[in-house]
Amino acid sequence: MENNQIDFFVISDSVGETARKVLNAVLSQYPGVQPIIHQYPFVRKQEELENILINAKEKNGIIIHTLVIDNLSSFTEKYCQTENIRCYDVLKKLVEDLSEITATKPIKRAGALHQLDDEYFNRISAIEFAVKYDDGKDPKGLLEADLVLLGVSRTSKTPLSMFLANKNIRVANLPILPEAQIPEELWEVNPKKIVGLTNDIETLVNFRKERMIAYGLSEETIYSNIERIKEEINFAGNLYNKLGCYVINVAKRSIEETAEIIIRNVLNK
């Protein structure tokens, strides 16, 4: 084998950390080996797995896997036997012995060690959704969201969206300004899925002045002007009335409190 180079294919239906650590532990005993490590985490489809195995065969590689999903594990074993590929199932022997000793069957859930189940992937998807459709970036998200948050600046739209996303709720939020055009998509959304956020005028004045100072700017700007803020609050209030949506004043409320109100009074109805 030229230059002692070996291709290792680390395959997992989860993160693949276990197989990678086992491989690294073994390789530490062979300093002369030059490993080329191909890592394939979150393999959940047979078509994807087959392509990886074909690649391993072409490179005369070694398979190391922690596949616990039955059809993927058995497919890998049969394929490697047929194609004469070196294959090591890191978990198989210990799992079989424990099953025999305890007279119980393994749950065979991918990512059980790291809690990488469907709930985990749904949460990641919701977080990605919240980032993609934050601050009205794409009005199409309003139609796909589980919840739409509206509000003037400094009503906690973004942090609230992320908090709810961590509860697997797909949230799109839209800033409300008197001079900004309201996207047509908003009027197509079920009002029961919309929450209008508002705040006390004095609280908003203080928040916005603090924000300007943090940016190294003067606190006296149109952004923090009390008359301008009154105009924004009134415009938002009129819009909420037209929509017939649920309204929450976030003044003196934590993100957690506001989220609980939304879950209880909007999402659970």
Q: What CA–CA distances, in Å, run from 222 to 3, 212, 268?
A: 68, 11, 39
Chain-centre distance for alpha carbon 253: 26
154 carries a ligand binding annotation: yes
> Is 155 annotated for ligand binding?
yes
Q: Do 102 and 50 meet the contact criterion of CB atoms below 8 Å apart?
A: no
Query: Is 151 known as a binding-site position?
Result: yes
The answer to whether residues 61 and 9 touch, using CB atoms and an 8 Å cutoff, is: yes
Taking the CB of residue 70, how many other CB atoms lie within 10 A of it? 9
Nearest to 197 by CA among 145, 153, 164: 153
Supply 257's token pair: 């409190």
What is d(CA 234, CA 217) in angstroms, rounded to the nearest whole number?
A: 27
Q: Which two tokens stand for residue 85?
A: 């590929």
Between CA 205 and CA 191 the distance in angstroms is 29
Angle in degrees, CA 30, 35, 40, rounded to 5: 130
Is 157 known as a binding-site position?
Answer: yes
Under DSSP, the state recorded for 199 is -
- Determine if residue 158 is labeled as part of a ligand binding site: yes
Q: What is the dihedral of CA 112, 117, 123, 127, to 10 degrees?
A: 80
Q: Is 153 annotated as a binding residue?
A: yes
Residue 71, token pair as written in the block: 């059809």
Report the binding-site residues. Answer: 151-158
Report the binding-site residues for ADP. Answer: 151-158
